[in-house]
């Protein structure tokens, strides 16, 4: 799923953050089990009838039921646009580049077509990409961590060109909240919700039985899959089979047979499975459980392993054989955290971390993401810096990465694919988003420069000029072309 090209860049935005802060943020990001949730344990499942009033024990949250009863919210009509004088990177292998794209009724209506009707917008040489897709995030669910409301988090996402996200921990309360946002037309990015089965050793039961895989609650909200946590550690990278010291070993949250039985049950009911696995021991557990599902069903459901932060060679082989998708965070591993990784993994095993290049070369489908707000909390979420980290591994302070990190660089094209078409595949939405093709949703990110054709050290200067969702301009940056200004929100 990942092709060619080779570029690197650094990002000045991140340089203001101290390496110490970054390290602690990395701990938080990888160890989502530790940060943010210890103080407020989640209750994923709707309370049972015994715990709640009869009214609360309905199978679908109230606000979501309202959506189903009343239909989706009315939204303003989409702009009919002809975006011209642009570099269009379609991410469609059949037609990789174009110069103009037309939208109508919220969809792509034409590419380089002469007869397109609508407001002609001269983009003054800007670059148009499919809207970015964050395949693993907590943009809305955990937005309070970065002291934002849901609406502010959505604004931030749009500012960085995200048009579609997967939320990886949607409890019933959070699903209620998402439905309410959708009902009031405030859910301006598309959200696929993963329902959690556990959090650390806490289990939530089969509350997902109240929902249908892929169930759609509105144009911007659907149930995507189920989320499991295999492992975690209060100080380290998940459960390690050979930790350098006992205090960084971490823990497993499931017995092998128990997890396999849960996977089979979920799979039989048609669910896509995503499991958090950060240590190599956690990944062993996940892979063993996936053996019970089998390759055919894994491919069919597009089951995924989240993070893949520590991976042994034999596990790369198993991931490939099983047909699993790797859902990785592009900004996790850079020079600034190299020492901390050594402490967690030991000198001899540190090169097992962040093996994006090896995963791609092995033919494992990769979906990119931010894990916002946990990865690099406070500054995570930006799409351009995520791409920067994936392709340079340079620290935010400008420190060059050690050789074992530099051997794992992604190309710009791979990073872009991981945040567009490949993320769409992991999200099962590639029929409607992820590339610029006629008939797909008019979800677009407009960039100030073409990231595939400028020197690496200029990539960090790329700005998101505008973000378009369903043909509507939802965000405009400072350097928006004159012709676009009239239809900016």
Q: Which stretch binds Zn ion (CB under 5 A): 163-171, 225-233, 237-245, 435-443?
A: 163-171
Interface with Zn ion, residue 248, by CB under 5 A: no
Q: Among 262, 371, 430, 474, indicate the residue that binds Zn ion (CB under 5 A).
A: 371
CB of 398 to Zn ion, least distance (A): 28
Beta carbon nearer to Zn ion, 368 or 451: 368
Taking CB under 5 A as the rule, does residue 275 contact Zn ion? no
Contact residue for Zn ion among 128, 168, 308, 445 (CB under 5 A): 168
Per CB under 5 A, contacts with Zn ion among 375-434 are none
With contacts defined by CB under 5 A, how many residues of the chain interact with Zn ion?
3
Stretch near Zn ion under the rule CB under 5 A, chosen from 29-37, 47-55, 117-125, 450-458: 29-37
Q: What is the 3-state secondary structure (H, E, C) of the chain?
A: CCCCCCCCCCCHHHHHCCHHHHHHHHHHHHCCCCCCCCCCCCCCCCCCHHHCCCHHHCCCCHHHHHHHHHCCCCCCCCCCEEEECCEEECCCCCCCEECCEEEECCEEEEECCCCCCCEEEECCCCEEEECEEEEEECCCCCHHHHCCCHHHHHHHHHHCCEEEEEECCCCHHHHHHHHHHHHCCCCCCEEEEEEECEECCEECCCHHHHCCCCCEEECCEEEEEEEEECEECCCCCCCCCCCCCHHHCCEECCCHHHHHHHHHHHHHCCCCEEEEECCHHHHHHHHHHHHHHCHHHHHHHCCEEEECCECCHHHHHHHHHHCCEEEEECCCCCHHHHHHHHHHHCCCCHHHECCHHHHHHCCCCEEEECCCCCCCCCCCCCHHHHHHHHHHCCCCCCCCCCHHHHCCCCCHHHHHHHCCHHHHHHCCCCCCCCCCCCCCECCEEEECCCCCCCCHHHHCCCCEEEEEECCEEEEECCCCCHHHHCCCC
Write down the least CB distance from residue 367 to Zn ion, Å: 13
Q: Which is nearer to Zn ion, 28 or 323 (CB)?
A: 28
Stretch that binds Zn ion, among 26-34, 201-209, 220-228, 447-455 (CB under 5 A): 26-34
Task: Indicate the residue among 127 and 171 with the shorter CB distance to Zn ion.
Answer: 171
Nearer to Zn ion, 78 or 324 (CB): 324
**Residue 189 Cβ, how far from Zn ion at the closest point, in Å?**
17
Whichever of 7 and 371 has its CB closer to Zn ion, that residue is 371
Q: Which of the ranges 4-12, 93-101, 363-371, 435-443 carries the binding residues for Zn ion, by CB under 5 A? A: 363-371
- Of 35 and 345, the one with the shorter C-beta distance to Zn ion is 35
Closest distance to Zn ion from the beta carbon of 138 (Å):
6
Q: By C-beta, is 68 or 145 nearer to Zn ion?
A: 145
Nearer to Zn ion, 84 or 150 (CB): 150
The verdict on 32 binding Zn ion (CB under 5 A) reads yes
Give the binding range for Zn ion (CB under 5 A) out of 2-10, 110-118, 161-169, 223-231.
Answer: 161-169
Between 377 and 476, CB nearer to Zn ion: 377
Min separation Cβ 446 and Zn ion, Å:
28
From 83-91, 112-120, 146-154, 168-176, give the range in contact with Zn ion by CB under 5 A. 168-176
Shortest distance, position 217 Cβ to Zn ion, whole Å: 22
Nearer to Zn ion, 331 or 452 (CB): 331
Ordered DSSP codes for 206-252: TGGGGS-TT-EEETTEEEEEEEEE-EE-SSSSS--SS-SSGGG--EE
- Min. distance of Cβ 483 from Zn ion in angstroms? 39
The binding site for Zn ion (CB under 5 A) comprises 32, 168, 371
């Amino acid at each position: 799923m990942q092709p060619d090209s080779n570029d690197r860049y650094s990002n000045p935005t991140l340089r203001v953050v101290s390496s110490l802060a970054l390290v602690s943020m990395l701990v938080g990001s990888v160890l989502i089990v530790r940060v943010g949730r210890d103080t407020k344990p989640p209750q994923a499942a709707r309370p049972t009838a015994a715990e709640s009033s009869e009214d609360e024990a309905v199978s679908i949250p109230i606000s979501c039921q309202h959506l189903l009863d009343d239909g989706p919210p009315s939204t303003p009509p989409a702009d009919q646009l002809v975006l011209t004088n642009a570099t269009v990177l379609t991410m469609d292998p059949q037609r990789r580049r174009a110069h103009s794209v037309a939208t109508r009724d919220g969809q792509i209506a034409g590419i380089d077509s002469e007869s397109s009707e609508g407001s002609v917008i001269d983009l003054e040489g800007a670059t148009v990409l499919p809207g970015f897709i964050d395949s693993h995030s907590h943009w809305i669910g955990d937005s309070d961590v970065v002291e934002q409301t849901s609406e502010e988090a959505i604004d931030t996402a749009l500012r960085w060109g995200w048009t579609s996200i997967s939320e990886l921990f949607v409890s019933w309360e959070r699903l209620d909240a998402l439905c309410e946002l959708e009902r009031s037309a405030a859910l301006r990015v598309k959200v696929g919700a993963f329902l959690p089965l556990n959090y650390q050793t806490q289990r939530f039961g089969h509350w997902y039985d109240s929902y249908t895989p892929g169930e759609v609650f509105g144009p911007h909200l659907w149930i995507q899959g189920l989320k499991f946590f295999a492992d975690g550690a209060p100080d380290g990278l998940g459960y390690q089979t050979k930790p350098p010291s006992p205090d960084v070993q971490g823990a497993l949250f499931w017995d092998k047979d128990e997890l396999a039985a849960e996977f089979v049950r979920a799979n039989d009911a048609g669910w896509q499975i995503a499991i958090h696995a950060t240590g190599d021991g956690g990944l062993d557990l996940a892979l063993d459980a996936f053996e019970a599902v089998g390759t055919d069903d894994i491919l069919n459901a597009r089951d995924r392993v989240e993070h893949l932060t520590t991976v042994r060679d034999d596990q790369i082989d198993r991931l490939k054989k099983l047909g699993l998708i790797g859902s990785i965070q592009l900004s996790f591993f850079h020079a600034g955290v190299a020492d901390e990784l050594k402490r967690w993994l030991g000198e001899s095993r540190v090169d097992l971390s962040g093996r994006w290049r090896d995963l791609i070369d092995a033919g494992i489908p990769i979906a990119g993401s931010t894990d916002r707000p946990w990865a690099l909390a406070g500054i995570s979420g930006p799409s351009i810096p995520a791409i920067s980290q994936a392709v340079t591994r340079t620290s935010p302070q400008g420190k060059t990465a050690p050789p074992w990190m530099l051997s794992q660089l992604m190309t710009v094209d791979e990073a872009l694919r991981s945040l567009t078409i490949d993320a769409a595949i992991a999200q099962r939405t590639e029929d409607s988003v992820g590339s610029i093709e006629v008939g797909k949703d008019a979800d677009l990110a407009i960039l100030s420069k073409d990231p595939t054709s400028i020197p690496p050290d200029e990539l960090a200067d790329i700005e998101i000029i505008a973000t378009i969702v369903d043909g509507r301009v939802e965000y405009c940056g400072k350097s928006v072309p004159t012709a676009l200004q009239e239809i900016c929100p």
